[in-house]
């Protein structure tokens, strides 16, 4: 059920069943209490100060979207888009966010998100009519299912600008920085966006410089779990990408795995990783992986024999980590190259 803090919106949204899609693979958090975050009122003033630049056209993927004025009722259907909007403009200008934004271990601006008037339930197919009942002036979503693009077309025909981000737009620090700048343009918060994006880029550059001189490049296997399935993350996944940026040699890259691969014990033994990184999804810890990692067949795998299995929270190392990806990179770099820090 939707939780709404505005009585007028409650009646309109009572039957809402919009997608607040979980990122594919997990890839579903600087906290909202960051003292450097400008107050929402200050951000609104900044947007108003750039009023002469409205309307403006922003390009996301192959879509050009016209935003007529600085949006004041933003509806974000995915955790990653909602969290970044909250960090850039505050809850006062956000009308609805996905349930992941208020979930510990998933959202990265929870203090702000809990003050948003409407929390959307989980789902997979956004209904344009129900979205319109929230009276948005900008809709943000991440494309993972067929319904998202179709919904975006209907919303555009209704005059509601809709930005549809690919999942890859949040899978690496560079991609996040670019997405933050684009959102800053769409929201009229360019100055804040540039500050946040540049800070992330600076953090990443410092970490890369610290590990650049390291002679060793440990071979890394990254694991994730969803439901009853344990998988090895592939090329392009956030955890694999961070491991490579941190000076590791991901097994997924060696093997050419473009997507997730079932974590079969024989496969883990055959690849013999030096380090195993385990994505902790929403506080689940090692529990989902115990059956695999405690298998006697894996006892002589270097990572297990040398006690090099490390838990990395998805909150800082997944597609929904947003601006906290730099913290995830730092943690992985310290695991792989402890002498560099």
| Whether the predicted pLDDT of 230 surpasses 60 | yes
Question: Rounded to an integer, what distance in angstroms lies between the CA atom of residue 10 and that of residue 110?
Answer: 21
Let me know whether 195 and 219 are in one domain. Answer: no
Total domains in the fold of the chain:
2
Q: Are residues 142 and 240 in the same domain?
A: no
| Token output for 92 | 């006062």
In terms of pLDDT, which residue wins out, 147 or 114? 114
Q: Which of 46, 5, 312 is nearest to 194 (CA)?
A: 46
Q: Is 276 among the domain residues? A: yes
| The pLDDT of residue 9 is above 50 | no
CATH number at residue 309: 3.40.50.1980
Q: Which of 217, 207, 204, 232 is nearest to 292 (CA)?
A: 232
Here the tokens at position 275 are 């380090």
Are 179 and 263 part of one and the same domain?
Answer: no
Q: Are residues 130 and 238 both part of a single domain?
A: no
Predicted pLDDT of residue 86: 98
Residue 207 resides in a domain: no
Q: What are the φ and ψ backbone dihedral angles of 75, each rounded to 5 degrees?
A: -115, 115
Q: Decide if 80 is inside a domain.
A: yes
Q: Which domain holds residue 278?
A: 213-340
d(CA 240, CA 36) in angstroms, rounded, equals 30
Instruction: Please tell me the chain's helix, strand, coil percentages from 3-state DSSP, rounded to the nearest 5.
Output: 45, 20, 35
Are 73 and 176 part of one and the same domain? Answer: yes
Burial 102-119 (b: 16+ CB within 10 A, else e): bbebbbbbbebbbbbbbb
Same structural domain, 290 and 182? no
d(CA 54, CA 187): 11
Tell me the pLDDT tens digit for each residue of 38-52.
Answer: 443 344 443 443 446
Tell me: do 135 and 193 sit in the same domain.
yes
Considering the chain, what is the average pLDDT of its residues? 86
250 three-state secondary structure: strand
DSSP result, 102-134: GSTTT-S-HHHHTTSSEEEPP-S---HHHHHTT
DSSP per-residue string spanning 255-297: HT--S-EE--HHHHHHH--SEEEEEE-TT-TTGGGHHHHT-GG
Q: Which of 201, 235, 251 is the last residue of a domain?
A: 201
The verdict on residue 97 lying in a domain is: yes
State in Å, rounded, how far the first CA of the chain is from the last one: 46
CA–CA distance, 322 with 130 (Å, rounded to integer)? 27
Other beta carbons within 10 angstroms of residue 18's beta carbon come to 27
What are the pLDDT digits (tens) for 246-273? 999 999 999 999 999 999 999 999 999 9
Q: Side by side, which strands form the sheet with 74-76?
A: 3-4, 118-120, 94-98, 74-76, 138-143, 162-166
Q: pTM of this prediction?
A: 0.83
Reply yes or no on whether the pLDDT at 103 is more than 70. yes
Same domain, 103 and 15: yes
Q: For residue range 136-169, what is the model confidence (pLDDT) as tens digits?
A: 999 999 987 666 778 888 998 999 999 999 999 9
Are 55 and 191 in a shared domain? yes
Pick the range with the lowest mean pLDDT from 75-79, 87-91, 153-157, 323-327: 153-157
* Residues 6+ positions from 64 with CB-CB distance below 8 Å: 57, 58
**Domain membership flag for residue 336:** yes
- Residue 217 forms part of a structural domain: yes
Please identify, among 156, 173, 201, the residue that sits at the C-terminal boundary of a domain. 201
178 contacts 200 by C-beta, under 8 angstroms: no
Token duo for residue 290: 């115990």
Same domain for 330 and 192? Answer: no
Note whether 33 and 162 are same-domain residues: yes
Whether 30 has a pLDDT exceeding 90, the answer reads no
């Amino acid at each position: 059920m939707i939780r709404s803090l505005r009585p007028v919106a409650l009646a309109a949204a009572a039957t809402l069943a919009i997608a607040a899609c979980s990122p594919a693979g997990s890839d579903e958090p600087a906290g909202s209490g960051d003292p450097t975050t400008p107050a929402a009122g200050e951000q609104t003033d900044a947007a108003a100060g750039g009023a002469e630049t409205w309307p403006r056209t922003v390009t996301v993927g192959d879509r050009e979207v016209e935003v007529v004025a600085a949006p004041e009722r933003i509806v974000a259907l995915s955790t990653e888009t909602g969290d970044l909007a909250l960090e850039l403009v505050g809850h006062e200008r956000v009308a609805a966010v996905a349930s992941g934004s208020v979930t510990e271990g998933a959202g990265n601006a929870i203090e702000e998100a809990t003050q948003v008037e409407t929390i959307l339930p989980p789902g997979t197919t956004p209904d344009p009519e129900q979205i319109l009942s929230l009276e948005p002036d900008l809709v943000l979503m991440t494309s993972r299912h067929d319904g998202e693009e179709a919904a975006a077309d209907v919303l555009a025909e209704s005059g509601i600008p809709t930005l549809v981000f690919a999942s890859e737009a949040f899978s690496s620090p560079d991609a996040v920085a670019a997405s933050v700048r684009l959102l800053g343009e769409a929201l009229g918060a360019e100055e804040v966006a540039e500050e946040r994006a540049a800070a992330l880029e600076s953090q990443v550059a410092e970490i890369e410089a610290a590990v650049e001189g390291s002679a060793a490049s440990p071979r890394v296997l990254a694991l994730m779990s969803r439901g009853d399935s344990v998988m090895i993350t592939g090329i392009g996944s956030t955890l694999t990408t961070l491991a490579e940026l941190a000076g590791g040699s991901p097994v997924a890259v060696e093997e050419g795995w473009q997507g997730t691969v079932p974590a079969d014990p024989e496969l883990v033994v055959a690849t013999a990783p030096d380090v195993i990184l385990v994505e902790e999804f929403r506080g689940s810890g090692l529990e989902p992986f115990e059956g695999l990692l405690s298998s006697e067949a894996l006892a002589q795998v270097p990572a297990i024999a040398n006690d090099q299995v490390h838990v990395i929270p998805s909150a800082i190392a997944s597609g929904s980590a947003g601006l906290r990806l730099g913290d995830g990179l730092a943690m992985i770099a310290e695991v792989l190259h402890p002498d560099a820090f």
